[in-house]
Amino acid sequence: MATYRSPPVPYTVSHELTAAHAYDSLHGKGQSNLGQHTSNIRWIICSFLLAISTHAFITRMSMSVAAQPIQKQFGLTNVEVGWVLSAFVVGYGIVQFPVGILTDRIGPHRLLALTLFSWSALHLLTGFSAWFAAGASILLPLIAIRFLMGIAQATVLPCCIKAIARWMPLAERATANGFFMMGLGAGGAISPPLTVALIQGFDWRAPFFLMGILGLALAGAWLSFGRDAPQLHRRVSMAELALITSNSATSTCTVRQPTPWRNLLANRSIWCLAFSYGLAGYPSYVFFTWFFLYLVNVHKLDIRAGGYWAALPFVMIAVMTPLGGRASDLLTVRFGKRKGRLGVVLMGAFLASLLILVGARVQDARTAVVLLSLGAGFHLFAQTPSWAATIDIAPAHSATVFGIMNTLAQFAGACAPVLTPLLAERFGWTSALDFAAGMAALAGVLWIGVRPDRVITPSLPPARVLQH
């Protein structure tokens, strides 16, 4: 069993020497070669995170599309469908905080593999939910399964952000966050047309069977290839390890440290970041849960056309999320973390709110979809600095910070599937979307209080070891 003990911060040795000792300890070499060919294992790890996040959002979104035939077959009301959709968000939200702490404590590798296996099995089980109902209402089995799936998928973002904190240097951090979060858009873009095609080719159970089986296979592949840190991966070259650990904040992410609760909870930046991200969760979940049904029920598109057009917001998310991450990294290198992160947030929040307000008032279905889709893309464009800021502010506790943020986001998100149709019934769909636009704008304003250039650096006890 190979171990690596990181030195306490601040370093008394160079980062290159630290990386060399780590590599030699893991691979049993007496001499390292800093000039050898640079591997790119960190980007393979990011590709796995992209695949996992894509699968997570395909399985999350599939119920929003499958709800239409399920609703017809079993006579569910719109409010009952809203409860099914909200069950996932409630399960997802209530464990975000402890999941963040757990991820910081035990690492992202095995935890993400276990929960990926779990939500894939539950997604597969959804296809049998009518059988479990045994002639009674299917509502309770669906709510229970979606609630447990939400709990399982709560690890995705904290684990991915923690993996990036350990695997990526500062200059690639927001880019990597945007890259894996592209899975949100890719999964959302793939899910509606894929789910519609499978439902029309077979029945509503088919997408749950297919994606459940694929997820089980992906869990096995990630468990085999992934590692908690680059120091523990046999394929990482010495040159790549030196690059990854060239930033002290990245290096300290591999040290298991007690959580500095007083410092975290007294930090204004963390609370501004948490409330900003929390409010941003509401418009996100409007698109995640109601957009397909909005097109079918309000703009009167048929189910096949609705499936394809409902994918457009997520195509824009898939495009705009990595662009937001790259823009944030480039501006950070040029102007510093404060201006680099904030500039992307404010621009994205302003354009997202404007596009949603205009799109809600357009009568032509296709024009409305294009404008609203652009709004969704810029909304997620504005979120990429928030993911990077968790590492900027608290590099050794990024998953815990994200757990705080995402807990608030999921509670706001849990309101969206139920509150959106209630607002629409009472005031109309334009007002319902106006409310979402307002939340997106307020999220941007709150980010003004975030200082990613001020790092929480508590004094550290002797570090624990990472074990392979």
Spatial separation of the C-alpha atoms in residues 377 and 322, rounded to whole Å = 10
Q: In percent, how much of the chain has pLDDT > 90?
A: 35
pLDDT of residue 249: 54
SS3 (DSSP) at 127: coil
CATH entry, 40-456, from 1.25.40.10, 3.40.50.280, 3.40.50.300, 1.20.1250.20: 1.20.1250.20
Task: For residue 11, name the pLDDT band (cuts at 50, 70, 90).
Answer: very low
The answer to whether the beta carbons of residues 201 and 324 sit under 8 Å apart is no
Burial of 240 (0-12, 13-18, 19+ CB in 10 A): buried
Burial of 130 (0-12, 13-18, 19+ CB in 10 A): middle
pTM over 0.85, yes/no: no
pLDDT digits (tens, 9 = 90+) for 394-403: 887 888 888 8
Task: For residue 211, name the pLDDT band (cuts at 50, 70, 90).
Answer: very high
pLDDT of residue 193: 84
The answer to whether the beta carbons of residues 262 and 459 sit under 8 Å apart is no
pLDDT digits (tens, 9 = 90+) for 425-460: 899 899 999 999 999 999 999 999 999 888 886 544
Phi/psi for 236 (5° steps) reads -75, 125
SS3 (DSSP) at 31: coil
The answer to whether the beta carbons of residues 90 and 414 sit under 8 Å apart is yes
pLDDT digits (tens, 9 = 90+) for 275-314: 999 899 999 888 877 887 788 888 888 777 877 787 888 8
pLDDT digits (tens, 9 = 90+) for 67-115: 888 888 888 887 788 888 888 878 887 888 888 888 888 889 999 999 9
pLDDT of residue 257: 65
Beta bridge pairs of residue 467 = 3
pLDDT of residue 37: 57
pLDDT of residue 124: 94
Tokens 């992209």 identify what position? 50
The answer to whether the beta carbons of residues 430 and 437 sit under 8 Å apart is no
Beta bridge pairs of residue 3 = 467
Structure tokens belonging to residue 290: 């109601």
Number of H helices and number of E strands within the chain? 21, 2
Task: For residue 135, name the pLDDT band (cuts at 50, 70, 90).
Answer: low
Spatial separation of the C-alpha atoms in residues 126 and 309, rounded to whole Å = 25
Helix crossing, 365-381 with 337-359: angle to 10°? 160
| Domain spans, the chain | 40-456
User: In 298-397, which residue ranges form alpha helices assigned H by DSSP?
Assistant: 303-309, 312-335, 337-359, 365-381, 384-393
pLDDT of residue 256: 60
Spatial separation of the C-alpha atoms in residues 164 and 173, rounded to whole Å = 7
